[in-house]
Amino acid sequence: MNRRRVRFLAFSATAFFIMSGSAFAATCESLQSLSLPHTTVTSAAAVAAGAMPQPRGGRGNAAFARLPALCRVQATLKPVEDSDIRIEVWLPATGWNGKLEAVGNGAWAGSISTGPMATAVLAGYAVASTDTGHTGGSATFLVGHPEKLTDFAYRAVHEMTVAAKAMIAAYYGNGPKHSYFNGCSTGGRQAMAAAQRYPGDFDGIISGDPANEATRLHAGQVWTWQISNASEAAVIPRDKYALIHTAAINQCDALDGVKDGVIENPRACSFDPKALLCRDGSGPSCLTAAQVETATQIYAGLKDPKTGKQIFPGLEPGSETGWNTLSGPAALGIAADVYKYIVHADDPNWTYQSFRAATDVELAAKTPAATSLNADDPNLSPFFDRGGKLLMYHGWADPGIAPMTSVNYYRSVLEKVGAAKSSRSIRLFMVPGMGHCAGGDGTDTFDALDALDQWVEEGKAPDMIPASRARGGSVDRTRPLCAYPAVAVYSGQGSTDDASSFSCKAP
């Protein structure tokens, strides 16, 4: 028998062993010597139940204390010479549900998302996370390292996923039957990038409050700071955010037939901050003319100063208590960094105070490094054609990423791919009253992953997801989240804090 034939049989036998079940699974410690392309496994250690080291700052202690025994794998990936992508893969020792959940990051990433990893393991998943190739929460890592931008933009998540699937196959004796990605904000952008660039990586993807129109988003964020601080008179004092919020709620809360402190559909709200204009001078219960103008522009969003065309949407009525995110004393860090370290990388003296929408947005669109952060391609046919499912959600009261960016992307997919195919493969849930990824006055607790898993496994697209709100440690309201464009409509009977009193209907 020739050597080629021997090698083929050896490969076939190995593949059979991996695919045939856990009888051939490896020990956790043996993963230390696992050989994978451009991957160095730096640690593979069994962790006893409840013994996982706590995250920094003590956050998530309760979840970590409840973790089952697992295999913790740490590795460094170097797909190119300048890459230094750290990943962790946690593999439950018992009770694995046969699936992989990859979890996303926030802002500039720079660390492993251990909190979401703990949540995933408690749900039975093998889970993976990455620092996206650097440490720290600013963009200074980009200086002189263009490949690290590519890692952050999309490559790190892909490389992590490939490595995680191989580790799962080695440890359990078979790979995951389904693989999911779950992220919000930067993680939402990572989710979109995965669907668009690597349609074979995941069977289902959750994208929350996504920063996927990065160059336009960050322009809109810097611009919002700029108009909010254009002069001393233009600044809206922080204690007046609640004043504006209350006025918006008072005008638009009951439009859905229920007065509950939440605007169900802000797009149906025609709130005008001029209603708060001071009749004489200034005072704690009114806005000056300059402050009214600032609020009006925040709602309107960034427009091309030459053509008037919308560049990025504005914030919605109901978001006002979080306006300090973009309108505070300094511009949002990640937004300023994108323009300083990427768009204006050749000008070390540039600062966000120098931002000019008339020229900087156009410059960003012509800068390949900057546009690599965008994940706004509506052609999801390759992902959909292989059965991929995309579940999007966005808080209507998000004060950092304008909610209409998700609505606009969803509509662009339907237009590009076609309504029939899209109806089988994409859903968008707009969450009334929810802030950025969580929080706010709305029902911000819901299990998007369970809805996605049922969709992938059973083939039924979710038209409603149960949601709840907790205050003081206990649930005080439940509501259905409705697949866009449907909204929750009160039946006219029963408690308005009980989901059973509502149904999802088209507006």
Question: Would you name the residues annotated as active-site residues?
Answer: 185, 398, 436
Amino acid, res. 340 = K
Amino acid, res. 72 = R
Burial class (CB in 10 A: 0-12, 13-18, 19+), 506: exposed
* Residue carrying the six token digits 């053509």: 307
Calculated CA dihedral for residues 418, 423, 428, 429, nearest 10 degrees: 150
Closest to 44 measured CA to CA, from 14, 20, 75, 69: 75
d(CA 489, CA 218): 35
Alpha helices in 123-271 (DSSP H): 146-150, 156-172, 186-197, 214-228, 241-252
Closest to 195 measured CA to CA, from 375, 372, 369: 375
Tokens of 33: 């010597």
Helix (H, G, I), strand (E, B) or coil at 241: helix
Closest to 125 measured CA to CA, from 91, 93, 172, 164: 91
Closest to 463 measured CA to CA, from 495, 428, 496, 421: 428
